[in-house]
Copies of this chain bind each other. A is one copy, B any other.
Amino acid sequence: MTVPLRPVSAVTALTEELRRRVLSGEIPPGTALPEQELSAAYGVARPTVREALAALVHEGLLRRERHRSAQVAEVTGEDLDDLMFVRRPLEDLMAASLAGRRVAEADGALERMAALPGDAPWSDVVAEHMALHQALIVAVGSPRLERLYAALAAETRLGLVRLRDSYADRDVLVAEHRDLLDAIGAGSQEAARRAVAAHLDHGWGAPPGE
């Protein structure tokens, strides 16, 4: 049952594959991932597995305790609140830095998101959403901002996957981001800040059922 892996290196290949499977929901939160099992399943050595797991733990996608198998992280409401808490200042910084600019890649991602067929899987929507934010962050040109954002991106994405309900249809999501890009493009830090706040507040901070 060995699944062959081509890309750059065995470690990055395995890392990407596991990340994909976790983010797509194929491997649900709480699932244990024993090193031996992965080693056998993907036909790579255990050290390789360990390295890949370490990378994902670093991203916040997995959690690991000594002498226990790595587990897919459970993202609680508390975690989402905390995530929003730290993301806001970073997004504000981004918006302020980009004031007056239009980022072509971000516009492209937004268009692609809007153009997705109505029955497209939610994970596709999430993927374009992440691409949009990623493009904005990269446009700022700060390597460290990129690093910080990357450290939160996976977890954010994991959380967003199970927020599917609060965005009954994705038009809201598209509209929110159009506002954000417009606000940034217009150079209004105030408007951009408001757009960021609206986006981050959506669903997360609200008590269940709201």
Measured CB to CB, the residues of A under 8 A from B are 9, 47, 50-51, 54, 58, 60, 66, 82-83, 85-86, 88-90, 92-93, 142-145, 147-148, 151-152, 155
Contacts and interface: CB of A to CB of B under 8 A. Distances in A.
The 3 closest A-B CB pairs, nearest first, are A89-B89, A86-B144, A89-B93
Contacts of A142: 82, 85-86
Contacts of A144: 82-83, 85-86, 152, 155
Contacts of A85: 93, 142, 144-145
* Copies of this polypeptide in the complex: 2
A121 B3 CA distance: 55
A60 B58 CA distance: 14
22 contacts: A9-B66, A47-B47, A47-B50, A58-B58, A60-B147, A82-B142, A82-B145, A85-B93, A85-B142, A86-B93, A86-B145, A86-B148, A88-B93, A89-B89, A89-B90, A89-B92, A144-B152, A144-B155, A148-B148, A148-B151, A148-B152, A151-B151
A179 B180 CA distance: 37
Nearest to A152: B144
Nearest to A148: B148
A201 to B, nearest CB: 16
Contacts of A82: 142-145
